[in-house]
Structure 1
Amino acid sequence: MKEEISNLQITQLAKSIREKKVSPVEITKLFLNQIKEFNPQINAFITIMEKQALEDAKKAEKKLMNETYRGPLHGIPVGLKDLVFTKDIKTTMASPIYKNFIPKKNAAIVGKLKDAGAIIIGKLNTHQFAYGPTGDRSYYGPVKNPYDLNKMSGGSSSGSAAALAANMCLGAIGTDTAGSIRIPASFCGVVGMKPTYGLVSKRGVYPLSKTLDHVGPMTKSIEDNALFLNIIAGYDPLDFNSKKLETYPDYSKNINKSIKGVVIGIPQNFFFDNVDEEITKSIENSINLLKELGAIIVEIEIPNVQNHILEQQLILRSEAYTTHKQHLENPKNAWDEEVRMRLYTGEGISADSYIKAQEERVTTYYKFKKLFEKIDILISPTAAMLPPDIEQREINHGIFKGQHIRWPILRLTSLFNFIGFPAMSLPCGLSKNNLPIGVQLIGDMFQEQKLYQIGDALFKASNISERLKQKNLFR
């Protein structure tokens, strides 16, 4: 039973819960035991909410017995990145500054998950204050990759990806400012969606960069991810950045529909330059699979990509420094030195430079809107390199020799935070050393439904889920 249930997807397990074949209490106990067994090796959880999770599971079970089924997350154990405020439960941002911080209110997204019957099982480790793509700069120690414990999990939603990959929860919430959902999803072989900017409320989520931050779902399959987004998407009048749609689609609706005739753009510049050979080959295999499924492949040029990324970095540095200025000025505060020094790179940015970058952001947004009049989605690698060793910072061989690892990890994801378009990473292959490889799909604004349709077709055609199970140390 343990092996069978822990390897199921949400969509599969939800059916058994609804039919009362398994109970929320026994599922929650099973995953709590998984955490006790695996977390000491992975370090994905900062806080395990055992008492509250069991209480919530009993309530979920009682409602089920009274024929009150809340939907497909009813009784499903999920984890939250430890930037998401939880009432009366420690929320640390993986920093010693907040090691004893207990919020008085839940984040908006927590309310949505609880209303849907989800069991919040714990708070997940993160790169300190979510400011880094490596996942090895937390006050609570590095998160390890479930495919090789010496390798990075990716960041900053490191614990979210690793907990899923190691079967310690069935769904997780991450945040993404420059790639922090998609990078760990790629490194750990799971699915991560950065939704359209404003689609999911950020209220009650500790900010890094207020105009670049996104909140999104991480899961083991595309179907689960779409189901999760159905629950957490929606307008929040108390979140200034929240976008109100006339109707919110069922993001699962077009899954399993043919993708014959969809138009997929292949960037001919930047996105496939200086990419690890194994990653390039895996993405090419994905493109060939999409062709076999009936997709139309077109080559496109995207001008000035590197300039746009530099503008994104300027906004990020400026806003991150502003967010943390008061903490940096307090001499009593303890910091990870790498995070502290990176925050100080935003100290001297002028208002003029910041405003110009924000103006260019609007121009770039409309350029991409025009591009998507010709195509349905863009495709690229998620990261340009395979997961490096924990604590590695400089690359000493190959095409990245002499570079700091941050650039090849982040360079392919951050543009889509700059313009706010939805982007998703899904696993598409394994390296010769059995490390996961992710492919990134990017869509037009509010076109998550299309990303899920195309992504699911690719996910199933590649049979990647079974291949990942065979190589994962914890499944």
Structure 2
Amino acid sequence: MSDLLFSTIDSTSLLIKNKELSPVELTKLSLAQIRKINSTLHAFITVSAEEAIEQAMNLEEEAQHNKHRGPLHGIPIVVKDILQTDGIRTTGGSKVFQDWVPSKDATTVKKLKKAGAIIIGKANLHEFAMGATTENPHYGSTKNPWDLTRIPGGSSGGAAVATATGMAFGAVGTDTAGSIRLPAAMCGTVGFKPTYGLVSRQGCLPFSWSLDHVGPMTRTVKDAAIMLETMRGVDPEDRTTVNRNDSVLYQGLQNLEGKKLGFYEPYMFSGIEENVKSVVQKAFQQLIDLGAEIVPINLPGIEKALDALKTIAQSEVASFHEPLLKKYGDSYGDDLKYRFQFGRKISANDYINAHRTRRQFIKETLKQMEKLDVLIGPTNVQSPFAIGTMLPEQAISNMFTLGKTPLANILGFPSLSVTCGFTTDMLPVGLQLIGKPFADKLVLQIGDYYEKSENWVQELKKNERYLHAIK
């Protein structure tokens, strides 16, 4: 296996810019890795090999003429198969759209291609992004590269696995209650959910328009910043986007002196496995050793706010799928059918009150964060469980029991998951940082400084567990 497949976007881009590596050569390496291991891991629904090579050839010609579009020029990226891709089918992980080939790209995909990223394929996901496991009854269940019997997290499980195993250098994921950050944590990679409104959702099949986010999934925090810089920006086709000119690219922090990290233990450590807790506590101590101060705080109304998230999400997703269900109801997976029953029972009064609860909770949380830089806690509080062990009626609560990611979605605040260690079973654990609105750069800076103080990212290259299963 080529070490190049596990290098960073940042360093690989420099090789391409200096003409030491061609986009075609790099793309062929990624495609070879996909051919070698994807049949075992089920990270992709569609591999766009011909399109990727064509893109790579055009970008190589540009490079030969000293035209370099930026740090994503010639870099293979995978897109979660819920975002539209021009000329490449977009299934949403469902049989309902199994033959749909869009005629235009989602805004984020368009921006990445313009920046020189090569779209190497479409990543597997939990059907319509409505679950935390990426157990897909239609396209195969994605497997965790650290233990093939276990889930990789979801719903962006395929994107996380592709990034963790060298099939792609980064990915575009979506996050409604943790669907970028949970699989990133469980696969040992980086996942970033930006501030609501920073990145367009145009061209993304919706789960919940009030809670959905599109964001990058990479192997390092700096690579996430590189992708986010291209992805962000106002979009006339998505009225929730905001016009902000401040870049998310950053200079590395010199230290964490003076940084105050808020920690609400009753929520962040509820339901946590001791094996996971010990890893997170070591990460907390590392942050303190680096100069940060961890400050106990309160988050009044958090339980009501999380209940409001469930009400908003399930109501909005039921509304979107209602016309499809009338025509394709039998084509949906069993866990989704159960979810829709819940969503249909929500009244307009309950939905409106949920939004009121949300607004009040955001207001109260901002008060708690006035003198803080970020909130911290674990991303996942449980290790990934075995594939095939979850009943459909239990699946609706997985995101809330497996991790602490939904908090950042009800807030709409930026949130990063970065690997902070491994359990005794050698399963990754994620550290979560949640910032104030549009403090995305600061969240990335703190995460970057912590990441560089450890060496967890190197474990991805060393992991050979999934290779043993390949015939």
Match of 1:252, as an amino acid?
L
1:305 pairs with 2:302:
yes
* SS at structure 2 position matched to 1:96: coil
Unmatched 5+ stretches in structure 2: none
Partner SS state of residue 446, structure 1? coil
Residue of 313, 318, 321 corresponding to 2:315: 318
Q: Does 1:337 align with 2:334?
A: yes
Verify the 8 A CA contact 2:41 2:145 in the aligned structure 1. yes
> How far did 1:35 drift?
0.3
Task: Provide closer, same or farther for how the CA distance between residues 459 and 392 of structure 1 changes in structure 2, counting only shifts above 3 A.
Answer: same
In structure 2, the partner of 1:171 is 170
Name the CA distance, whole Å, in 2 between partners of 1:330 and 1:410: 33
User: How big is the shift at 1:87?
Assistant: 1.1
Between the aligned partners of 1:348 and 1:380, the Cα distance in structure 2 is 33
How large is the Cα RMSD of the aligned pairs? Answer: 1.6
1:406 matched to 2:408? The reply is no
Find the counterpart in structure 2 of residue 210 from structure 1. Answer: 209
- The one-letter code of the counterpart of 1:464 is W
CA contact (8 A) 1:144 1:151 kept: yes
* Structure-2 separation of matches of 1:342 and 1:319: 12
- 1:15 matched to 2:7: no
Equivalent residue in structure 2 for 1:431, among 395, 419, 423: 423
Separation (CA, whole Å) in 1 of partners of 2:330 and 2:172? 28
- The residue number in structure 1 matching 2:120 is 121
User: What does residue 397 of structure 1 align with?
Assistant: none
The alpha carbon displacement at 1:468 in A equals 4.1
Query: What are the residue-to-residue correspondences of 1:184-333 with 2, within 5 Å?
Result: 184-245=183-244, 247-249=245-247, 251-330=248-327, 333=330
**TM-score, scaled to structure 1:** 0.95
Letter in 2 for 1:455: G
Say yes or no: does 1:454 pair with 2:446: yes
**Deviation of the 1:416 alpha carbon:** 1.4
Asked whether the equivalents of residues 255 and 452 of structure 1 are also in contact (C-alpha less than 8 Å), the reply is no
- Sort the Cα spacing of 1:332 and 1:372 in 2 relative to 1 into closer, same or farther, 3 A: closer
Cα distance, 1:55 vs structure 2: 0.5
Residues 409-418 or 157-166, more deviating: 409-418
- 1:409: how far off? 3.8
TM-score of the two chains, using structure 2 as the length reference: 0.96
- Kindly indicate whether the alpha-carbon contact (under 8 Å) linking 1:385 and 1:408 is maintained by their aligned counterparts in 2: no
Query: Which region of structure 1 is more displaced relative to structure 2, 277-286 or 192-201?
Result: 277-286
Determine the structure 2 residue equivalent to 1:33. 32
Instruction: State the Cα deviation string for residues 257-297 of structure 1 (Å, max 9, x = none).
Output: 32211111111322112201111111111111111111122
Q: Shift of residue 474 of structure 1?
A: 5.2
Aligned-partner Cα distance in 2 for 1:270–1:421: 17
Aligned to 2:346: 349
| Alpha-carbon contact 1:259-1:453 (below 8 Å) kept | no
CA distance in 2 between counterparts of 1:88 and 1:237 reads: 23
Residue equivalent to 2:456: 464
Q: What is the alpha-carbon distance in structure 1 between the residues aligned to residue 222 and residue 465 of structure 2?
A: 24
Paired residue type of 1:136: E
Structure 1 pair 404/359, CA: closer, same or farther in 2 (3 Å)? closer
Equivalent position amino acid for 2:246 in 1? Y
- Residue aligning to 1:398: none
Residue type of the alignment partner of 1:184: P
Q: What residue in structure 2 maps to residue 109 of structure 1?
A: 108
Structure 1 residue 459, shift from structure 2 partner? 1.1
> Hey, what's the Cα distance between the residues in 1 that align with 2:401 and 2:377?
13
- Matches of 1:273 and 1:347 in 2, distance apart? 30
CA distance 1:333–1:56, change in 2 (3 Å): same
Given that 1:223 and 1:255 are in contact with CA atoms closer than 8 Å, whether structure 2 keeps it comes out as no
Per-residue deviation, 1:301: 1.4
> Is 1:389 aligned to 2:381, yes or no?
no
User: How many Å separate the matches in 1 of 2:463 and 2:159?
Assistant: 19
Question: Percent same amino acid among aligned pairs?
Answer: 38
Paired residue type of 2:256: I
CA distance in 1, matches of 2:380, 2:362: 22
Which residues of 2 match residues 72-87 of structure 1 at below 5 A? 72-87=71-86
Greater alpha carbon shift after TM alignment, 323-332 vs 82-91: 323-332
Residues 212, 417 of structure 1: 8 Å contact kept: yes
* Structure 1: unaligned runs, 5 residues or longer: 395-401
Contact 1:170 1:220 in 2 (8 A): yes
Q: Return the offset for 1:89.
A: 1.0
CA distance 1:195–1:324, change in 2 (3 Å): same
**1:377 correspondence with 2:374:** yes
Paired with 1:292 and 1:177, the residues of 2 have a C-alpha distance of 33
Q: CA 1:456/1:46 → structure 2, altered by over 3 Å: closer, same or farther?
A: same
- Evaluate the alpha carbon distance shift between residue 66 and residue 325 of structure 1 in structure 2; reply closer, same or farther with a 3 A threshold: same
**Post-superposition CA distance 1:429-471 (Å, at most 9, x none):** 1111111111111000011111111111111212111234334
Please say if residues 374 and 434 of structure 2, whose CA atoms lie closer than 8 Å, have aligned partners that are also in contact.
yes
Name the amino acid aligned to 1:207: P
Distance 1:403 1:232 in 2: 31
Asked if the contact 1:279–1:384 (Cα under 8 Å) also holds between the matched residues in 2, the reply is yes
Whether contact under 8 Å (1:309, 1:411) holds in the other structure is no
Counterpart residue type for residue 460 of structure 1: K
